[in-house]
Chain A
Amino acid sequence: MGGYSLERLNVLVVDDSPHMRHLVKVLLFSFGCRTVVEAEDVPEADKLLQDFPADLIICDWNMPSEDGISFVRRLRTGEESRNPYVPVILMTGHTQKERILTARDAGVNEFLAKPISAKSLFQRIRAIIERPWAFVRAETYCGPDRRRKQVDLDHPNRRQKVPAKGTPGIRGAAVRDDHFRSASGAISASGGRS
């Protein structure tokens, strides 16, 4: 049997609860991660990110000085952001659909409902490894592409491909069919897109 070895990953855990940080760290170390740094709030995370080349950020939603949603928005769009494409897993006890959509619209890659388990956390990490999402930079949104299915459409409203013009890595778009995974399975969220 085999699996992904995570030992080379640099992970930043941001949570105001020392218990949750401890729990997540224990899980990450048990997955083989060796470099896990923690921040008790967003200002500390900002400071750490000046020098720490995070490959993955696992962040809480509710925190006193600045919440996780605002942090992710700044990460994706802030002029001072050094790593706007870093994958983010947002942990929260709020699992209502509108909350999940808010997280998705802020630019979160994966949503992890509390209470967390080894399986649920690893599932989110594996999803980011196996199903990376292109990034969308639009007037009202910057973050992982919220549309999840690539389907060829023969329709005048289909989004046009952006001319490459020597910009490798820019591609056309897909249909508006979104799935934002939650701990309890797939929560489908069709609706307004970028």
Chain B
Amino acid sequence: MAKEPVIIEVPNRLKAKVSYGPDGVDAQRLEQAEAMISALAPEYLSWVIDDLKRLQSALDVALATAEDARPAAVRAIFEISHDMKGQGGSFNYGMITQVGALLCNFIEARASFDAQEMEVIRLHVEAMRLVIGQKMEGDGGRPGQSLLKGLQAVIAKVSR
């Protein structure tokens, strides 16, 4: 017979070490923390330019790779764009998160990548470069939304 699970009451060490008071984290403190992240935006732009360079290199390698060996090369594109997707929104570059999500979902849904599919990936890489080059913060406004719609239309076309 399987052993009965044991439920253990663990002392709440975290609670024991925090105190509640006027100097704690309140709504105002959270706003200040958000402002500190916003202040990191210039640093983010330098990081993300490095990420874009790595992304372009990974794309170049994947394009130069024979189609049957391409999935492994495309995986490198996925890893970089996945990191970028996870960071953009924190620094008010939600467009990087959205384009990154489209690209990651596109790659994850496929086991192989022909020339047409590589063109879709290339367009996403270009879109990310445009977002950063044009400093499309937030939702990117009307140009940003048009860009997203365009990418979604391209994906829909290839996925038919």
Contacts and interface: CB of A to CB of B under 8 A. Distances in A.
Interface of A: 1-6, 8-9, 17, 19-20, 22-23, 26-27, 30-32, 55-56, 62, 85, 87, 91-93, 114-119, 122, 125, 128-130, 132, 134-139, 141, 145, 159-160, 162, 168-173, 194
A118 B15 contact: no
A3 to B, nearest CB: 3
Contacts of B23: 5, 32
Contacts of A132: 10, 12, 14-15
Interface stretch (B36-44, B52-60, B135-143): B36-44
Interface stretch (B24-32, B109-117, B121-129, B148-156): B24-32
A84 B128 CA distance: 41
Question: Interface of chain B, helix or strand or loop or mixed?
Answer: helix
Contacts of A194: 5
Contacts of A172: 7
Interface of B: 2-10, 12-15, 17-30, 32-34, 36-37, 40, 43-44, 47, 79, 82-83, 85-91, 94, 97, 104
Nearest to A193: B5
A171 B10 contact: no
Contacts, number: 166
Contacts of B12: 129, 132
Contacts of B104: 93
Nearest to A114: B86
A61 to B, nearest CB: 10
A160 B156 CA distance: 53
B3 A119 contact: no
A62 B88 CA distance: 17
B85 A3 contact: no
A32 B90 CA distance: 20
B37 A27 contact: yes
8 contacts: A22-B43, A114-B87, A117-B37, A128-B14, A135-B8, A139-B3, A168-B9, A173-B7
Given A9-B18, A85-B10, A132-B10, A116 B5 contact: no
Nearest to A83: B13
Contacts of B19: 4-5
A97 B151 CA distance: 25
A162 B33 CA distance: 45
**Which of B33, B37, B43 is the most central at the interface, judged by chain A CB atoms within 10 Å of its CB?**
B33
Return the 6 tightest CB-CB contacts between A and B, nearest first.
A115-B89, A114-B86, A3-B24, A118-B33, A138-B5, A169-B9
